[in-house]
Structure 1
Amino acid sequence: MIKGDAPKVLVINCGSSSIKYGLFAMAPGHLIASGLLERIGEQVSLIRYRAENAQGEPVEHQQEIEAADHRAAFAHITVVLRNASGLEAGQEPDAIGHRVVHGGEAFSASVAIDQTVIDTIRNLIPLAPLHNPANLTGIEICREAFPSVPQVAVFDTAFHQTMPPHAFRYAVQETWYSRHGIRRYGFHGSSHRYVASRAAGYLQRPLEDLKLITLHLGNGASAAAIQHGNSIDTSMGFTPLEGLVMGTRCGDLDAAIPLHLENVLGQSADELEEALNRDSGLKGLCGSNDLREVLASEQAGDERARLALDVYCYRIRKYIGAYFVALDGLDALIFTGGVGENASLIRSRICQGLEKLGIAIDPEANDRTVEEISEIGRGGYSVRVLAVRTNEELQIARETLSVLTG
């Protein structure tokens, strides 16, 4: 168990070729150091990190390194933490929280990591073959590096385990679900949970009393319907491919289309999966997955860019309408993620025509830079519209601390 008034929690997000980390002093949740090490396994890797100087001011650093594998990468991160974050030689974090993408139905909450948890995450690899193996690598390396430090797994899918069966079941053969776990799981759970809680605090109402729609809009994007603090529906499904149009993912798609293309183009399942995940979405429609580039191209008269944005915003509006019905009303609409927090024009376009649902944007408020939380809705309408800066790493740190302190 964790002792002390200001425990330090290290958050690890381990990807297939990168490690993102953050070290928090949990009183009340101050970020001491953070960074990203990427291009693991390439000839030259890159580490970028932020740490406080002697005056307590954040300073950004960047350097090229050699990191042939994740163990070598974590050795570099450990050196950075020792040198720049107040972890003296021989000192360890008080706890480590790991982002794990897929918990299936096995995990409906964050859990302390033991061998049984590790084995279960490994058994879930078929549900997330691109993510869970890397997440496991991070867990195993940290257990070797810090064997006495308690560690916690925080699952992207856990927040959405409150969805009722009518929301998470697909209309397919029963055995597909019972034997193979074919159902909707949802992702971005830490972000949806964090911004819902922040919105409740801002609105000065208990989260349990609120009906919320949260829109996590970035290169990956998802919507969630949150009632009484619980997710009752979300746009991503069995994988993160379902739902909204994203940077490179197609979102909702007729299931027969890949089968048709397999016959017509002779492409393999792996090739089609790559196309739907890496070359679709905004990129497929207009050639770029960077929303800033798409907006600039539209302003320059590019019709493909205009269509891409129309499709993007229309899909989000459809989900808002559907979740308004699912929630039987709405107290607040929340934008978050890189696009949701920074693209005021996209927020405005998404909310066009939603006045009958009580949703309208205040143009002046919407154009201001979003701080931690900003109200951007027009007065006199029933639904509050907020832009909230998400902090998935802090949410993971909080859940880690909660698990270990009971």
Structure 2
Amino acid sequence: MRQQQAMLFEKPAVRGRLVRQPPVENGKAVITAAPARKKRAAAVKRVRKRGRKRTASGPRLFLPRKPPASRAYGGAAYQLGLQLGREDTPPAPPEGESELRGLLNRRWTARVKERGLAGYPWGRYHAAAAGYVRGFFAGMGRPAPDWVPLPTERSVAVIVTAKNEERTIAAVLKEAGRLTDETYVIVNGSIDGTFRQARAASRAIVLSYPQALGHDVGRAIGAKLARADILLFTDGDMPIPAEQLVPFVHGIEQGLDVALNNIHPYLGSFGRQDSVTIMKQFLNMALGRPDLKAGSLTAVPHALSRRAVETLGLELLAVPPKAQALALLQKLRVGHAGRVNVIRGNKRRKLNSGRRNPVASMIVGDHLEALKLATDRLGERLIYPDMLRKRRYIGGDA
């Protein structure tokens, strides 16, 4: 055995796997090198790249190239959607694209309710939806667009804020256009071609401000302009596939007023979390909603109902933690609806990276404002009563 170990160390330059063969006559083991498994290395490389899809301009999308759930269903959901779409093809389709999309979405929503297609697993929904769109247009003898039908008859608007995002804004608007015809882009403080790219990439309503407004003020401006029943918010630096935005619309359709992004699965251990993440969790816990964890209106994507916009007001929407605190205090329905890993896709900038960066300090300050709003309404201890201390015996409050 020691002789065998010695021979292993005598050949450190041998590459590949070491293979022991039966001892020869002199009693020593023969060690040969098998060729390295190049195919395995290539497979590992493919696994690492799985789920990363790049557009021509370079932004990273967060959807696998082939939805795994559709494979799990063996194409049955897609075939069902194809059949239903052919059955629902109108004999005399409307001429306008918006009218045709509205008709398709209404009939699709009826099918969703009839067949119970909405909700998890979402792969089944998306496979059936893709088949439905193809079948709907095949019945008319037309090529199918890449629309993603929504499980609601209510109108939906997408609001995008952008600053110096000329490389990604076209991809963002392409995904928004797959969902709805009503899109608003708030370009602010840009010194590149973001405005020009936004105008060229879609038929969205684009507003441009020479000064930087901040994401939150931009979203409030978009909420002021939008007339839709459901408002879906995202940013111009993250091209999130339309399929991953559908659950937020579905959350509002199911009764939520505030549909948040559940980023908890993408956070590290508590000791590795930054001050912003800790403040998000602290605010939710202080208001009696520990189930929300780090869910926050500060993060995108998220969606609001028309009731939430009217209850909270545009001024409060400019400070998302305050808006979230008031939503909880007013007993609006707040909850997680979707799960998108925006931590991985968040663009690194000088203002939002490093310890105690300006953006983090601003967000922590926003949460302090939210706590002040809550204490003004609930008292200094918020929802936590002081049942043991008899403070009046020492001249304090009861």
What's the TM-score once normalised by structure 2's chain length?
Answer: 0.27
Taking structure 1 as the reference length, the TM-score comes to: 0.27
Greater share of helix:
2
Task: Name the structure where strand makes up a greater proportion of residues.
Answer: 1
Higher RCO by CA contacts (8 Å cutoff, separation 6 or greater): 1
Structure number, greater radius of gyration: 2
